[in-house]
Amino acid sequence: MASASQYFAAQVRWRWLEIAFWLCALLPFVVTPTYLSLASQIAITALFALSLDLILGYAGIVSLGHAAYFGVGAYTAGIFSKFVWGEPLTGLFLSAVVAGIVGYATSHIIVRFRHLALIMLTLGLGLLLHEAANSAHWLTGGADGLQGVKIRPIFEQFRFDLYGRTAYAYSLAVLFVCFLASRRIIHSPFGLALRGIRENALRMPAIGAPSRAHLRKIYTISAVLAGIAGALLAQSTETVSLEVLSFGRSADVLVILILGGAGRLYGGILGAVIYMVARDQFSGITPAYWYFWIGLLLVAVVMFLPNGILGGLAKFFQRRT
Amino acid sequence: MGSLVGVLFDGFAYGMLLFLLSVGLSVTLGMMNFVNLAHCSFAMVGGYVTVSLMNSFGWPFFATLPMAFLAAAAASVLLERTLYRRLYRASDLDQCLFTIGIVFISVAAAAYFFGTVQQSASMPSYLRGSVELMGVNFALYRAFLIGISLLITIILIASLEYTRFGAQVRAAVDNQRMARGLGIDVDRSFMITFALGGGLAGLGGALAVEIIGLDHAFAFTYLVYVLIVVAVGGLGSIGGSFAAAMVLGISDMAGKYYFPWLGAFLIYLVMVGLLMWRPAGLFGKR
């Protein structure tokens, strides 16, 4: 019978597959140097999906409005660089702080509700923010998008080039750091308590766990990560459009996470790779038709792969061994 | 003063439309707890049936309305029998994702068959124009819309309150397990309710063509409005849906008229506020 500390130590240990995965993330620099801007988009989306995974996959909070925090981060980074200073790392930090504050404020509302009311509230808050950004034309540029974002080179050394070399290195590094932090959180006693809340929301308070405080905490952390992802997008593309706050973005990230497998850390990353590469390949077809395949995929995943691709793979290998 | 009456009238007509679109979802959600986000796809079916029957086959407007109802009802029964029933015991999230998938598919299918342009149908001459009453203009079509929706509401409430089938539906909404225990065939009454709800949405979609238009993204655009009506009104409550649809319709119209710079901000604010105050909706029991 292993003790609790041994259990956590075994959870935290790095597996060979994980190390190989992160080494593979470096491959685009040598193998597909012409696709580096796509690769940076993938890293940003993966970080966004990871942030949703923390609340949806681990704490069981269903959100249809997670783009709110992504958008807050993106607009903060954009506005900061336009009016104050173009240094990327300060912008990134500030975006994380602002998104965290917004996330903490809304978490007080979020944790009180479940089921349909929760879904509707996250949707409503997301739409509210979208409309607010649309009306605040003087600050955000409204539907025209925020123009005039100028980002200085990172450490005054690495300029954001046309091929996306810097953008990918920057996004990948930030993704990796955020991933390490999430991995640490998930494999801590706090992470275990979150999974307990997900499995049975009534029993956890009964055994003395402060459920709501836990949920507020993870919701804030998730908002911080989403804000960082938004800031990365704003800085690497040097523009912010109203789309960062849209319902479509919230729905997309949900699809990505479910496709990859929620509650598995790597699910969102895998989902982002598949989704973004597929969208890039099929970009020739009209967006309206693209959604046909996404819809079909969603229906198929819910019917046949309830735990996403990673869940399906895990089951497949378990059965064989 | 005149403008206020006009805004109230237009908002009332708009609210009636929202009520038709959402009442079916409210009852089925209350009954089976099945989060059917694809409800507006049925409305889209109805709208396209009306538009194509009128434009391609030259049917009169009134003849197309029953066809819109029937087509949407048939589509909803088909979907319920083949796919939805497997998911009654699935989680909220799975149901949401599955039905969003259906919405995506229906939107893409509509774009494929009808293009991405705004559809239009010319209304018969006796529904065009407006009458002036005490200095206020009342559009005839909106008056007709209010009349037909009120008629449907009365029929609906009466049949739920005074028929045997209505009593079975109410029992199933209140306590599904108990209703089963008493020998009520909940699956059957659910199927019929689902068909009725889908059909009403189809009728709503057909009536909406003249007022709010119809394009391939309809199932998405109005999904939010329908969800607001259902969530604010409370699950399984026809009266609640009616009240919520009126509040939403009138406040949306008033917002557009008096505070155009706010856009849709006002109604989202109303929704979030109401939900925080009463999470189960205005008239919800759970």
Element (H, E) at B131: strand B130-133
Interface A-B: count of C-beta contacts within 8 A = 116
CB < 8 Å to A254, chain B: 97
Q: Is A303 on the interface with B (CB under 8 A)?
A: yes
pLDDT in tens, A31-77: 888 888 889 999 999 999 999 999 998 988 888 889 999 999 999 99
B131 beta partners: B138
Exposure class string for B57-79: b at 16+ Cβ within 10 A, else e: eebebeebbebbbbbbbbbbbeb
Residue A177 has pLDDT above 90, yes or no: yes
**Residue-by-residue DSSP string for B68-128:** HHHHHHHHHHHHHHHTGGGGTTS-HHHHHHHHHHHHHHHHHHHHHHH-SSPB--PPPGGGS
List the Cα angle A206/A209/A213 in 5-degree steps: 125
Single-letter code of the amino acid located at B207: L
Q: Which pLDDT does position A153 carry in this prediction?
A: 83
Quickly state the pLDDT bin for A173 (edges 50, 70, 90). very high
**Interchain CB distance below 8 Å, B93 and A62:** yes
Q: Which pLDDT does position A75 carry in this prediction?
A: 93
Q: How far apart are CA B86 and CA A98, in angstroms?
A: 43
Determine if residue A316 is left, alpha or beta; phi over 0 gives left, psi from -120 to 50 gives alpha, anything else beta.
alpha
Q: Is A287 on the interface with B (CB under 8 A)?
A: no
Hey, what are A248's tokens? 């479509």
Best residue in B25, B88, B97 for a mutation probing chain A (most A CBs within 10 Å): B97
- Smallest Cβ–Cβ distance between A296 and the set B92, B105, B280 belongs to B105
Residue B15 domain-assigned (yes or no): no
> Number of structural domains, chain B?
1
CA distance B27 to chain A (A): 14
CB < 8 Å to A255, chain B: 97
pLDDT in tens, A235-264: 988 888 888 888 888 988 988 998 888 888
Residue B185 domain-assigned (yes or no): yes
Q: Which pLDDT does position A226 carry in this prediction?
A: 95
**Interchain CB distance below 8 Å, A124 and B272:** yes
**Interchain CB distance below 8 Å, A298 and B265:** no
Nearest 5°: phi and psi at A154? -70, 135
Residue A93 has pLDDT above 70, yes or no: yes
Judge contact between B67 and B50, C-beta under 8 A.
Answer: yes
Q: Of the CATH numbers 1.10.3470, 1.25.40, 1.10.10, 3.40.50, which one belongs to the domain with range A4-320?
A: 1.10.3470
Q: Which pLDDT does position B1 carry in this prediction?
A: 57
Q: Three-state SS across chain A?
A: CCCHHHHHHHHHCCCHHHHHHHHHCCHHHCCCHHHHHHHHHHHHHHHHHHHHHHHHHHCCCCCCCCHHHHHHHHHHHHHHHHHCCCCHHHHHHHHHHHHHHHHHHHHHHHCCCCHHHHHHHHHHHHHHHHHHHHHCHHHHCHHHCECCCCCCCECCCECCCCCCHHHHHHHHHHHHHHHHHHHHHHCCHHHHHHHHHHHCCCHHHHCCCCHHHHHHHHHHHHHHHHHHHHHHHHHHHCCECHHHHCHHHHHHHHHHHHHHCCCCCHHHHHHHHHHHHHHHHCCCCCHHHHHHHHHHHHHHHHHHCCCHHHHHHHHHHHHHC
Hey, what are A207's tokens? 């055994």
Q: What predicted TM-score, i.e. pTM, was given to this entire model?
A: 0.86
Non-local (6+) Cβ contacts of A132 within 8 A are: B265
Residue B152 domain-assigned (yes or no): yes
Residue A321 has pLDDT above 70, yes or no: no
Quickly state the pLDDT bin for A220 (edges 50, 70, 90). very high
Q: Which pLDDT does position A2 carry in this prediction?
A: 65
Q: Which pLDDT does position A198 carry in this prediction?
A: 87
Residue B137 domain-assigned (yes or no): yes
User: Mean pLDDT of all residues in chain A?
Assistant: 86
Q: Which pLDDT does position A12 carry in this prediction?
A: 77
Q: Which pLDDT does position A222 carry in this prediction?
A: 95
Domain regions of chain A by residue span: 4-320
> CA distances (Å), B147 to each of A95, A214, B141, in order?
53, 52, 10
Residue B111 domain-assigned (yes or no): yes
Q: Which pLDDT does position A225 carry in this prediction?
A: 95
CB < 8 Å to A271, chain B: none
Containing domain of residue B45, as a range?
21-222
Percentage helix, strand, coil for chain B under 3-state DSSP, each rounded to 5: 80, 5, 20
Non-local (6+) Cβ contacts of B59 within 8 A are: B53, B67
CB < 8 Å to B270, chain A: none
**Interchain CB distance below 8 Å, B265 and A131:** yes
Q: How far apart are CA A5 and CA A1, in angstroms?
A: 12
Residue A1 has pLDDT above 70, yes or no: no
CB < 8 Å to A258, chain B: 93, 97
Q: Is A201 on the interface with B (CB under 8 A)?
A: no
Residues 31 to 70 of A: which have CB under 8 A from any B CB? 56, 62, 64
- Local mean pLDDT, 10-residue blocks, chain B (286 residues): 79 90 84 82 91 86 89 92 84 84 88 81 74 74 88 87 86 84 86 89 88 82 85 81 88 82 77 81 68
Cβ-based neighbour number of residue B53 at 10 Å: 21
Q: Which pLDDT does position B78 carry in this prediction?
A: 92
Q: How far apart are CA B80 and CA B97, in angstroms?
A: 16
Q: Which pLDDT does position A71 carry in this prediction?
A: 94
Give the torsion sign (CA, B22, B26, B31, B33): positive
Interface of B with A (CB under 8 A): 29, 35, 83, 86-87, 90, 92-94, 96-98, 100-109, 111-112, 116, 216, 224, 227-228, 231, 235, 261-265, 268-269, 271-272, 275-276, 279-280
CB < 8 Å to A117, chain B: 231, 275, 279-280
Best residue in B35, B225, B272 for a mutation probing chain A (most A CBs within 10 Å): B272
